[in-house]
Structure 1
Amino acid sequence: MEANHKTLSREERNKLEGVKDHICTNLKERLTVEKLAEKFMFSKSTLRRQFTIFFKLPISEFVFQTRMTKAYLLIKAKDKPVSVVGSYVGYKDRSAFTNAFTKHFGIPPIELFNANPCDDFIEPNEPENHKNGLENHKNEPNAHD
């Protein structure tokens, strides 16, 4: 029998929502399963398993997608210079951020930033898949223990 979110207690679901909220508000930090498990009083294996059951996405994937979505929105809104967006979402190395962003969205961050909305610019794959506007990807830094 496949596990689903209904097999989790209300307390477990609330703790998992807390983990998600912590991730979303602390993207600059090094977010490891070990640190999250300790902070929210889970074992690492329980956190991995329950997070995947509840959000239908492994925790490291959720962290990566949240970072990419936030970066996309910041660049698109031109709220921050592209040169600082990567560090704002948890990347210490600018080229690692550029490579991950380009691989994920199919366009370098600077091209998205410089795109004129009146041009015949074709939007990259905008985030829309996950309930927080997230898509799948595996190259997330700092989400592994």
Structure 2
Amino acid sequence: MKKSQVQVCPFCQSMHSALEDEVYCSKSNLNADIIKSNAFYYKSNKLFSGKHIGRLTVKMVFNGYQYLKLGKHDTMLTDRNYLIINPGQEWNSEIDSEKEVEGLTIAFHPTLCKQFIYASKTSTRALLDNPYNMAAESLTFFEHTYENDLFLRQLFLQFKKGILRQTNDALFFKELKFTLLEALFHKHLHTGLIHNRIPVKNSSLQKELFKRLGIAKDYILANIEKDLLLDDIGYTAALSSFHFLRLFKAVYKKTPHQFIMQERLKKACYLLKNSSKTIDEISIASGYKNHSAFSRNFKRHTGLTPLSFRLYGSSYSFQSSNQ
């Protein structure tokens, strides 16, 4: 295997780091050059990734914000979440930031996914008798952002360090990928417990409604600076405003308005510490209509004015969104 090096994809111009296996860029065709990459590390304040239709993929950022379009739906990556993209889904992403944003895109080879499914769902006796079989089905997840946790952050950091060290060790990255898949799979099972909060008995209907709520929540994240209306958010999930409100509160244990206010505050805190924007500019970028409303709300939740927070920092922490 060739030594890993950061380069630019000749088809879509997205940055990547060549590691292992074969990943075709969606801008190429089956007869074009193979992009030998399965984990991409990037650091940029201006970056546009053209449309991809790829493998099972995980995307995350270590800092800042990255906008993504997933099929027809919008979402936003922050340092508090990650996104799972299922095989065959079209996506593209963009970074437009004053400060450089660091992120990862990790793609999983279909063979590795089928090996994982087979090992996870097969008895020990069957694994001893047929250790090299593979599952017939593909590994798929609820396709939306998930809340990050300490264990996953450590895994993502190991990917980053391995890429930056130009680690020429296929075993190291394959072990990391199996560990990451296992963590994502268990989190997916936990998510199944969360969608049981939806007050319907039919399991398929629960999953469909949970999927729609995830689309709506991601729409909020991608448009947090805009004037968000309940009817418009419900429309993205193909739900009436009342039905959406009731389901959102049941699943996430907060109303859409409470979630929006929390996310606006998080964005304001980030911009205050990581940009040279004025307080007025930050209030607008965070979705507030005027400076005074922003300052009142900010102090009510953090105990500091926006200017004091910028100058002296804060130990204020945000509660989980119960994903």
TM-score, normalization by structure 1: 0.76
Residue 7 of structure 1: how far off its partner (Å): 4.6
User: Using the alignment, how far apart are the partners of 1:52 and 1:76 within structure 2?
Assistant: 31
Residue 57 of structure 1: how far off its partner (Å): 0.8
- The answer (yes or no) to whether the contact 1:75–1:85 under 8 Å persists in 2 is yes
Asked if residue 82 in structure 1 is aligned to residue 272 in structure 2, the reply is: no
Higher-RCO chain (CA-CA 8 Å, sequence separation at least 6)? 1
Asked if residue 128 in structure 1 is aligned to residue 322 in structure 2, the reply is: no
Equivalent of 1:31 in 228, 232, 244: 228
- Amino acid of the structure 1 residue aligned with 2:237: F
Asked if residue 58 in structure 1 is aligned to residue 255 in structure 2, the reply is: yes
Residue 56 of structure 1: how far off its partner (Å): 1.0
Q: What SS does structure 1 have at the residue aligned with 2:196?
A: helix
User: Using the alignment, how far apart are the partners of 1:111 and 1:83 within structure 2?
Assistant: 15
Q: Post-superposition, which runs of at least 4 consecutive aligned residues in structure 1 deviate over 4 A?
A: none
Q: Percent identity?
A: 25
Identify if the C-alpha distance between structure 1 residues 5 and 53 changes in structure 2 by more than 3 Å, giving closer, same or farther.
farther
Residue 129 of structure 1: how far off its partner (Å): 1.1
- The answer (yes or no) to whether the contact 2:195–2:207 under 8 Å persists in 1 is no
Residue 39 of structure 1: how far off its partner (Å): 2.7
Larger Rg over CA atoms: 2
Residue 79 of structure 1: how far off its partner (Å): 5.2
Further displaced range: 73-82 or 47-56: 73-82
Q: Which structure is higher in strand share?
A: 2
- Amino acid of the structure 2 residue aligned with 1:69: K
Asked if residue 6 in structure 1 is aligned to residue 196 in structure 2, the reply is: yes
Deviation digits for residues 84-107 of structure 1, max 9, x if unmatched?
Answer: 111001112111111111111110
User: Using the alignment, how far apart are the partners of 1:97 and 1:77 within structure 2?
Assistant: 18
Please give the root-mean-square deviation of Cα atoms over the aligned residues, in Å: 1.9
Residue 54 of structure 1: how far off its partner (Å): 1.2
Residue 5 of structure 1: how far off its partner (Å): 3.0
- The answer (yes or no) to whether the contact 1:69–1:127 under 8 Å persists in 2 is no
- The answer (yes or no) to whether the contact 1:51–1:57 under 8 Å persists in 2 is yes
User: Using the alignment, how far apart are the partners of 1:82 and 1:7 within structure 2?
Assistant: 40
User: Using the alignment, how far apart are the partners of 2:197 and 2:304 within structure 1?
Assistant: 40
Q: In the alignment, which residue of structure 2 is the partner of 1:138?
A: none
Residue 53 of structure 1: how far off its partner (Å): 1.1
- Amino acid of the structure 1 residue aligned with 2:196: K
- Amino acid of the structure 1 residue aligned with 2:259: F
Asked if residue 46 in structure 1 is aligned to residue 243 in structure 2, the reply is: yes
Q: In the alignment, which residue of structure 1 is the partner of 2:105?
A: none
TM-score, normalization by structure 2: 0.36
- Amino acid of the structure 2 residue aligned with 1:127: S
User: Using the alignment, how far apart are the partners of 2:238 and 2:253 within structure 1?
Assistant: 21
Residue 38 of structure 1: how far off its partner (Å): 2.1
